[in-house]
Copies of this chain bind each other. A is one copy, B any other.
Amino acid sequence: EKRKFQVSLSPIVSFFQTNKDSIKKIIHSIKVGSVLVLVSLVKFVDSFCKQVGDDSAMWAIMTVVVIFEFHAGATLGKGFNRGIGTVLGGGLGCIAAILGGQVGGIGKPFIVGVSLFISGGAATYSRLIPNIKKRYDYGVMIFILTFNLVSVSGLREENVMEIARDRLLMIVLGFAICICTSLFFFPIWASDEIHDSMVSKFEDLASSIEGFTGEYFRLAGDKENQPVHPVASFRSCLSMLSSKAKDESLVNFAKWEPWHGKFGLFNPWEKYQKIGEVLRELAATILSLKGSLDSSEEPLQALRESIKEPCEAAGSSLAWTLRELGESIGKMRRCQPELFIAPKLRLVRQRLGQIMSEKLDTAEELSIACFVLSLMRVAEK
């Protein structure tokens, strides 16, 4: 009986293990669906009570739809932006409307129009500044929107303050529902994702170095046996080269995320970006080694044979170093590069220097040089 149950369960379990990514996506979709129902309930109840203004509950729905992002950090960041943007825009909009009201007559729309033009233009310009765009783009957009709505409504109605208060209340409500769902039910942390991706990058680089040295020295005899293996490792290097934008946005989200799991409140997320930069440079180096694979000509075969052993040793010790570093980042323990890794690298460098008369060495030595740099950075951490 029990065994049968296990058998029927095992495909589901294995599905969950292999498709971790799509499971996350499904959970996220279910979360969004339930939050939408919840927030519509607010509007439904509200329409009976008629306590809050007429269309204010709409703002709660809008907030939920716009704010709820895949990563918890992104949701927090957007919510924060929306809050600040609404408060600032609403406040300034009120001032503009009141100012216009005091002047009265034909001056009223004139003043509002001028203030709209100036604030809209200035805010749009600030959205084009890279640093503001990166973190506060959404907040500035909401600022423009709220400022416009409030100041233009002020032309007509007198209860500007009330409208502003009601909408703010609804936005806070939507924000609170989002944050609770996003943080407390199966949270999807951007910090976990960037941490894992960093560790797997180290692993990828290590295996592609191994794959390369293997391929390079295997060419002598059995070239036709398994010729397609290193292509995969080069492809992983290529995809690493173009990972900058994704890393950047993840770090951006991770900065918003509060203390959780193994990460403290002030985890040095900028370090992750720097390490990513060094790894990308290293990936470029490994990628360019492909050139020496392509240009394998017969006269060099003997020379290649003669340097086979030290180069293979160097390759495997580089791979070892990378794995070691990746693991130390993965477990978040401080590694002592001065004690273990640096002398080993120095040894490798010496041995390579001895046989310095072949092209492979330079490239490999460069990767070591890159590597010492990255070591220093990791050591700082």
Contacts and interface: CB of A to CB of B under 8 A. Distances in A.
B369 A33 contact: no
Given A29-B121, A40-B152, A66 B294 contact: no
A113 B40 contact: yes
A241 interface: yes
B241 A33 contact: no
Number of copies: 2
Nearest to A237: B284
Contacts of A238: 281
A44 B109 contact: yes
A245 to B, nearest CB: 3
A155 interface: yes
A358 B292 CA distance: 12
Given A55-B55, A281-B287, A148 B40 contact: yes
Interface in A60-108: 61-62, 65-66, 68, 70
A125 B156 contact: no
Interface in A144-162: 144-145, 148-149, 152, 155-156
A25 interface: yes
Interface string A27-69: 0111011101100110110010000000100100110011010
A13 interface: no
A17 interface: no
Interface string A350-363: 00000010110111
A280 interface: yes
A369 B294 CA distance: 9
Contacts of A66: 141, 145
Interface in A280-297: 280-281, 284-285, 287-288, 290-292, 294-295, 297
Contact of A121 (B30, B62, B288): B30
Interface of A: 25-26, 28-30, 32-34, 36-37, 40-41, 43-44, 47, 55, 58, 61-62, 65-66, 68, 70, 109, 112-113, 116-118, 120-122, 124-125, 128, 141, 144-145, 148-149, 152, 155-156, 238, 241-242, 244-246, 280-281, 284-285, 287-288, 290-292, 294-295, 297, 356, 358-359, 361-363, 365-367, 369
